[in-house]
Structure 1
Amino acid sequence: MRRAARRRRGGPCRCGRGGSVSGGPVSGGYEVDARGLRCPAPVLRAAVAARALPPGAVLRVLATDPAASVDLPAWARMRGHTVTANERSDDVVVVTVRLGG
């Protein structure tokens, strides 16, 4: 039913399939692995993780969707967070965000 509703609105469902998403603490912060997922999944995963973390925490998001290098910094600005790094290594985009209040 959901899929049919998306089709009626126009365009195919763009939710990512394949790849796993996991989050967990890493040295100096928290990491969300959104590799293999397409827009808007990396931003949504980052938003969920950010809600569970205190202000000042560092969130690192790994994604293979090229749009993540633009979408994640835009999300961070809208939410009052600071992007401390936006890098691309091979096919992986790595965006590091310091969470604001």
Structure 2
Amino acid sequence: MSASDYDVELDARGLFCPEPVMMLHNRINDVEPGGILRVIATDPSTTRDIPRFCQFLGHELVSHQASDDLFIYLIRRAE
């Protein structure tokens, strides 16, 4: 995945619930509507919390990848 696949990145590695979602809530505002935010996290609870965040606020979870202890999300900001 290259930087051209997303507009803004949030690195939440090493943070634990609820910090990644709190940071996501602030960082999504740095993305233009329709733009993509890439989130990198190490907290397994993000596999539950980030999809719920997207569903609740109307953002699109474009993709989710998990490998070892790393979770990567691409989120399209709602219009």
Larger Rg: 1
- Answering whether residue 18 of structure 2 is matched by residue 45 of structure 1, we say no
CA shift, 1:40, in A, is 0.9
CA distance in 1, matches of 2:41, 2:66: 9
Percent of matched pairs sharing the same residue: 37
CA shift, 1:49, in A, is 0.9
SS at match of 1:76: helix
User: For the Cα contact (< 8 Å) 1:69–1:95, is it kept in 2?
Assistant: no
Which amino acid is 1:51 matched to? N
TM-score, normalised with respect to structure 2: 0.88
Structure 1 residues 57-89: Cα deviation after superposition (integer angstroms, max 9, x where no partner): 101111110000110110011111000111101
Give the match for residue 54 of structure 1: 32
Structure 1 residues 27-69: Cα deviation after superposition (integer angstroms, max 9, x where no partner): 2321100000001111111111111221101011111100001
CA distance in 2, matches of 1:53, 1:95: 14
Give the match for residue 78 of structure 2: 100
The alignment yields a C-alpha RMSD, in angstroms, of: 1.1
Gapped regions of structure 1 (runs ≥ 5):
1-25
Task: Specify which structure has the higher proportion of helix.
Answer: 2
TM-score, normalised with respect to structure 1: 0.70
Corresponding residue pairs, total: 76
- Answering whether residue 60 of structure 2 is matched by residue 82 of structure 1, we say yes
CA distance in 1, matches of 2:38, 2:11: 8
Moved beyond 4 Å, runs of 4+: none
